[in-house]
Amino acid sequence: MKLLFLITARGGSKGLPRKNVLPLGGKPLLHWSIAYARFFTKDEDICLSTDDDEIMACAAECGLGVPFRRPVELASDSAGSEGVLRHALAEMEALRGCHYDGVVLLQPTSPFRRRSDLVELLRLQQNDGADLAVTLRQPAHNPLQVGWLRRDDGSLQRLADKAAWDRQSLPPVFEFNGALYLFSRELLDRGWMQDARRLLGRDLPAANSVDIDTRLDLDWAEFLLQKKAVDLDWRF
C-alpha cells in the first residue's frame, strides 16, 4: 500500500506567530513531523504543503525539499483541510507519476504522536475496514455530565438525562486530537470525513494529545518534555 504523508503548515498563524518553526525540545516544531514521517516512508512520499518561505527553509534544514507552493486561496484562515489535501494529492501524483492508496495527514502542532499510534491506525484500516482512522482524546470533563443547552426562553437544560448525571454511569466521550488522520483512497474518491462508512480511532493519553496553538500550549509541551511526562516511542 502506497501512502502519501502530508504535512500541512501554512505561515499565517495568528494565535502563535511562526509557530511551525518555533523550537520544541531544541528542534523546530516542523521537524518533529518530518522526522516522524521518515520512520515510515522515503522523502519522495512526504509532502510539505505550505505557502511560507520560512517554513520551506526550515524543511530544507533537515533535507526535505518542497516541490510546490500552496496556492494563496488554500492558505487563508478559512481554508479547510479538504482542499489542501486534495491539491497536494493531485500535485504529488502528477509530479511522481504514481497513484497513492491513501493519505496520512500530519499537523505539526501535534508533535507527540507515537510510532505505535500509526501502526495501530494502519491495522484498523487493513484488518478492521476503517476508511478513516484517527487519533482521539477524552476531554477533561465529559460534556454529558457538565454540558448545558440554552433553551429559546433562556433557561438551561442538561445535555444528559437526569438519570445519567452520575459520572460512572455515563459512556466515555471522545474527540479528534489532531495528531493523526489516515484516509483511505476510497473515502477520498467518494467524499470527505462525513462520508466515512467506518470511522475508527485510537485513544491517546492527554500528554500525547497536546495541540500547540498558543504560547501557553508551547510552554506546556516543553514542560512535559523536560519532566519526561510524555510517552514517546521514538527520538530524533
Q: pLDDT digit string (tens) for 67-121? A: 999 998 898 777 789 999 999 999 999 999 999 999 999 999 999 999 999 999 9
Local confidence band at 166 (pLDDT 50, 70, 90 cut-offs): low
**Non-local CB neighbours of 177 within 8 Å, separated by 6+ positions:** 110, 135, 136, 137, 204, 208, 209, 211
Measured CA angle at 52 (ends 48, 57), to 5 deg = 70
CB contact at 8 A, 125 and 133: yes
Residue whose C-alpha cell reads 454511569 in the numeric block: 169
Residue 163: predicted pLDDT: 54
Domain ranges of the chain: 3-138+174-226
Measured CA angle at 193 (ends 188, 198), to 5 deg = 90
DSSP, collapsed to helix, strand or coil, labels residue 45 as helix
In the DSSP assignment, the letter for residue 109 is T
| Pairwise CA distance, residues 124 & 199, whole Å | 9
Amino acid at 150: R
Q: Does the domain at residues 3-138+174-226 carry the CATH identifier 1.10.287.1080?
A: no
Pairing of strands 132-137, 175-184: antiparallel
Mean pLDDT throughout 200-222? 97
Report residue 6: phi and psi, to 5°. -110, 120
Q: What is the pTM of this model?
A: 0.92
